């Protein structure tokens, strides 16, 4: 593609993929191969020394994955991207170049339950500490900073509660602290929100969700803005110091604004090994082609469903930023002007027992632990995704006993509402 500025939908279809030069195939090929033949010994040596760009082994790089990486970086307005086997793998991969034993991360309490579990119970095994703060007050990040702080972590649109963080305010605090801001943009997708435009350094995705869009393909991604000075503070020797595995090469000196992405492939994927399967990358590329169309319908349906639930006598509350009386409504207008997403929570009168009955009574909705599918999905977080947390932690994460999480699909909205109506009637009769 040329340097012309294209619209989001055009880039969703074309970025990163052109007709195959070898065969003329218009569809992106699936490069289902483990390794690649070298031209000669000199080229092989140059590849292993990072002196030239190319393909060595599919744990590190793969042409199908590279196409997905180019598309995601383009859509997010980033400099480079690394795809991984899952969203959780992407989070570890994202932090890997930044952290070391004794390092700290300051993270929002309004995160997916699995992410909080990862931070509280798994990261300490690496010698990393996560300080969990209420992101509703950005100053909490400033208060939590210590000399060992290496990163901030938030979700642009939080799972499960639909909480919206003030990205720009938190980014300013991160910049003053000399650390990168990582934003999980899974629920919003770049169609709704582009955190890099508000100062985010790194974007994390579970591509399993809206980007893929059909519930078929596990995957994750890390997009680098290319705007962070890794050498400025001296806090990031993995990126701005000598790398022993490459004869003392300094990634930031050698690769500049691509340092982080090169490191994620050459060291992160090499040593941790969470590579995405090429077939999953191919399916995700297909999904992204319709991302704008799907997100438009997702958001329109979710708005109508939220308005319906807000009037329902069996519903205690609805937490959807698209509703004018929601506490995050003004932040949604700033950061998600096209819509407040399709994931939100509501509380049923009667608490835990009624919530369980609702998920057992739906017919059109699927009761499962995923979001971002074309199909409408429902779950009771307290008994599933947030089950490992304490009662107090579940409430803090927006997953109390009465909470139901909806992922509104692209079906006819009247059918979605009718299914909720009959399920609520059964659960409260």
Domains: count for the chain = 2
Q: Is residue 104 part of a domain?
A: yes
Predicted pLDDT at 386 = 67
The model's pLDDT over 401-422, given as tens digits with 9 standing for 90+, comes to: 899 999 999 999 999 999 999 9
Q: Say whether both 304 and 225 belong to one domain.
A: no
Q: Is 215 inside a domain boundary?
A: yes
Calpha distance 269→59 (Å, rounded): 6
**Residue 417 pLDDT:** 98
Whether residue 28 is contained in a domain is answered as yes
- Same domain (yes/no): 330, 201: no
pLDDT at 147: 97
Q: Name residue, tokens 């329902």.
A: 312
Both 280 and 299 in one domain: the answer is no
Single out the residue in 271, 287, 303 at which a domain terminates: 287
Q: Which of 287, 310, 327 is the last residue of a domain?
A: 287
The torsion angles phi and psi of 406, rounded to 5 degrees, stand at -115, 140
Phi, psi dihedral angles at 321 (to 5 degrees): -65, -10
Q: How far apart are CA 284 and CA 256, in angstroms?
A: 29
**Arithmetic mean of pLDDT over the chain:** 95
**Both 274 and 318 in a single domain?**
no
Q: Are residues 282 and 367 in the same domain?
A: no
Q: Which domain holds residue 141?
A: 8-287
The percent of residues above 90 in pLDDT, for the chain, comes to: 89
Two structure tokens written together for 335: 């950061």
Report pLDDT for 1: 56
Domain-located, residue 3: no
Cα four-point dihedral sign 350, 351, 357, 362: positive
- Under 8 Å between Cβ of 281 and 62: yes
- Pairing outcome for strands 181-184 and 202-206: parallel
Sign of torsion over alpha carbons 118, 121, 125, 130: positive
Residue 1 counted as domain residue: no
Q: What is the pLDDT of residues 341-395, one digit of tens each?
A: 999 999 999 988 999 999 999 999 999 989 999 999 999 988 886 677 777 877 7
DSSP states of 336-379: -TT---SEEEEEETTHHHHHHHHHHH-SSSEESS--S-SS-EEE
| One domain for residues 86 and 224 | yes
The per-residue pLDDT for range 154-163, each reduced to its tens digit, is 999 998 778 8
In a domain, 171, yes or no: yes
Q: Is the same domain home to 280 and 308?
A: no
**E strand or H helix at 221, and its extent?**
strand 220-224
Do 259 and 114 fall into the same domain? yes
User: Are both 341 and 276 inside the same structural domain?
Assistant: no
Look up the CATH number of the domain holding residue 227.
3.40.640.10
Give the domain-ending residue among 287, 302, 325.
Answer: 287
**Contact between 74 and 16 (Cβ < 8 Å):** yes
Shared-domain flag, residues 80 and 180? yes
What is the DSSP-derived secondary structure letter of residue 78?
Answer: -
Say what the pTM is.
0.94
Lowest mean pLDDT among 65-69, 167-171, 298-302, 401-405: 401-405
**Angle between the N-to-C axes of helices 291-310 and 413-428, in degrees from 0 to 180, rounded to the nearest 10:** 40
Q: Is residue 2 part of a domain?
A: no
In a domain, 263, yes or no: yes
Q: pLDDT band for 2, please (50, 70, 90 cuts).
A: low
DSSP-assigned beta bridge partners for residue 426:
none
Please choose, from the candidates 225, 234, 221, the residue with its C-alpha nearest in 3D space to the C-alpha of residue 258: 225
- In the sheet where 220-224 sits, what is the strand order? 80-84, 220-224, 202-206, 181-184, 149-155, 104-108, 129-133
Beta strand 104-108 with 129-133 is parallel
Whether the bond between 160 and the residue before it is cis, its omega within 30 degrees of 0, is yes
Q: Are residues 143 and 26 in the same domain?
A: yes
Do 329 and 276 share a structural domain? no
Q: Tell me the CATH number at 329.
A: 3.90.1150.10
Mean pLDDT for 243-263 is 97
């Amino acid at each position: 593609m040329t340097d012309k500025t294209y619209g989001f939908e055009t880039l969703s279809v074309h970025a990163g993929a052109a007709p195959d030069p070898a065969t003329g195939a218009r569809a992106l090929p699936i490069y289902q191969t483990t390794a690649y033949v070298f031209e000669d010994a000199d080229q092989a040596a140059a590849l292993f020394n990072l002196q030239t760009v190319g393909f060595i082994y599919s744990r590190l790089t793969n042409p199908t994955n590279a196409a997905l990486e180019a598309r995601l970086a383009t859509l997010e307005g980033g400099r480079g991207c690394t795809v991984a086997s899952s969203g959780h793998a992407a989070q570890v991969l994202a932090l890997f170049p930044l952290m070391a034993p004794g390092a700290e991360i300051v993270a929002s309490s309004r995160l997916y339950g699995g992410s909080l579990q990862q931070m509280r119970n798994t990261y300490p095994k690496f010698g990393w500490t996560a300080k969990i703060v209420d992101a509703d007050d950005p100053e909490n990040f400033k208060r939590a900073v210590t000399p060992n702080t290496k990163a901030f972590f938030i979700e642009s649109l939080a799972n499960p509660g639909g909480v919206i963080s003030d990205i720009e305010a938190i980014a300013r605090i991160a910049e003053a602290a000399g650390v990168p801001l990582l934003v999980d943009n899974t629920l919003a997708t770049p169609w709704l929100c582009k955190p890099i435009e508000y100062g985010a350094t790194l974007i994390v995705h579970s591509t399993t969700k809206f980007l893929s869009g059909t519930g078929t393909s596990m995957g994750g991604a890390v997009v680098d803005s290319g705007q962070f000075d890794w050498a400025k503070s001296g806090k990031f020797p993995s990126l701005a110091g000598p790398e022993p595995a490459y004869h003392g090469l300094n990634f930031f000196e050698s690769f500049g604004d691509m340092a982080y992405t090169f490191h994620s492939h050459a060291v992160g994927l090499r040593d941790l090994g969470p590579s995405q399967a090429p077939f999953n990358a191919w399916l995700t590329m297909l999904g992204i082609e319709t991302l704008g169309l799907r997100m438009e319908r997702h958001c329109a349906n979710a708005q109508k469903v939220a308005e319906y639930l807000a009037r329902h006598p069996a519903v205690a509350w609805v937490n959807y930023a698209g509703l004018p009386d929601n506490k995050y409504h003004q932040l949604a207008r700033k950061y998600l002007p096209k819509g407040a997403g399709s994931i939100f929570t509501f509380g049923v009168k009667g608490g835990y027992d009624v919530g369980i009955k609702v998920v057992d009574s739906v017919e059109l909705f699927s009761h499962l632990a995923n979001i971002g599918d074309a199909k409408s999905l429902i779950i009771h977080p307290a008994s599933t995704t947030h089950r490992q947390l304490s009662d107090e932690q579940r409430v803090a994460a927006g997953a109390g006993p009465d909470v139901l999480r909806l992922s509104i699909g692209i079906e006819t909205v009247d059918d979605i509402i009718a299914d909720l109506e009959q399920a609520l009637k059964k659960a409260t009769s």
